[in-house]
Amino acid sequence: MATPVTLGIIGLGIMGERLLRAALDHAAESVTPVAVWDPAPAAATRLAGITGAPRMLATPDAVISACDCLYIAAPPAAHIPLADAAIAAGRSVFIEKPLATSLTDARAFVARAEAADARAAVNFPMASSPAVAQLSTWRAALTAQSLEIEVAFPTWPRGWQQAAASWLAKRAEGGFTREVVSHFLFLTRRQLGPLKLLEAHTSYPPGDGAESAITARLSAGGVPVTLKGSVGTTPKDDHNTWTLNGAIRLRDWSFAERLGADGAWAQAPDALPNEKMRPMVLRGQLAEVAAMTRGEAHRLATLREALEVQEIVEAILAA
């Protein structure tokens, strides 16, 4: 068995802590967390309460020097500077989306990283989702004809994200299209082919708040796609569906379902709610991170895929 790769983490917010706990509890065979940096005093307190957690180092550069792979879970404006520093130091990079707050910066970064043959990928967990694997098996028996994507929230940000509302609730870096819809666009790109935005409309509240509703028409590998998103339209903290041909769907992140002869949706036998499936998904992601870091083939989202998704997202938000 290959030796686990060492993992450094910058940003110990919701995603950083989630991946750290997954690495410690479920993926010791793949990665060993060795260092963390976050400027917030509260992050150091949380880190101290995690059994087996690595040290909080003094600077981002110290974390980069300590690891084989850098996981970047900082707010979007910090992604590219940190990724550039890690790549220059010969490290692999696993980064949260979006790549940057500027498409120009994102395109330039992807070009640099590709030219340097950098080992870099983006954290779209559907790349390792058992529910998505089940959908792929069912899809093999279908000819794709239409896709419907819908996301809905009672409030934005979601309840568990309120600590990050200072930027997630704002138009500049936040919003559910960047944070949630991007995952379903990645899934669509992987399942059906290249994305093209045909038409979109986006509604914003007064001031600098993030979007409250979107509608869009796209094509994916020539397949027509409709997309809807809204805030204040569901009692669930987070509701979403990705429905192909009206016959198979992914519901609420983790339920693979298909339409039965009786007209009712039936779950896959091994379906689990998202909170129970998440550790399995992150374990899979971290196994792929280790493969990427060793220079092996992997299933993680490439920088180019993430850039294509971000370009569609920003076009929708500009509509």
Averages of pLDDT over each 10 residues, the chain, 319 residues: 94 95 97 97 95 97 98 94 98 96 96 98 98 97 97 95 90 94 98 98 97 98 98 95 98 97 95 94 98 98 98 97
pTM above 0.75, yes or no: yes
CA 253 to chain centre: 12
Domain annotation for the chain: domains and CATH numbers: 5-123 (3.40.50.720), 127-278+309-318 (3.30.360.10)
Q: Tell me what pLDDT residue 167 has.
A: 87
Bond from prior residue into 157 cis (ω within 30 degrees of 0): yes
- Taken in order 185, 190, 195, 199, the sign of the CA dihedral is negative
HEC readout, the chain: CCCCEEEEEECCCHHHHHHHHHHHHHCCCCEEEEEEECCCHHHHHHHHCCCCCCEECCCHHHHHHHCCEEEECCCHHHHHHHHHHHHHCCCEEEECCCCCCCHHHHHHHHHHHHHCCCCEEECCHHHHCHHHHHHHHHHCCCCCCCEEEEEEECCCCCHHHHHHHHHHCECCCCCHHHHHHHHHHHHHHHHHCCEEEEEEEEECCCCCECCCEEEEEEEECCEEEEEEEEECCCCCCCEEEEEECCCEEEECCCEEEEECCCCCEEECCCCCCHHHHHHHHHHHHHHHHHHHHCCCCCCCECHHHHHHHHHHHHHHHHC
Handedness of CA 306, 140, 267, 248 (dihedral sign): positive
Q: Residue 163 has what pLDDT?
A: 84
pLDDT at 229: 98
The C-alpha atoms of residue 21 and residue 3 are separated, in whole angstroms, by 20
What is the β-pairing status of strands 55-56 and 31-37?
parallel
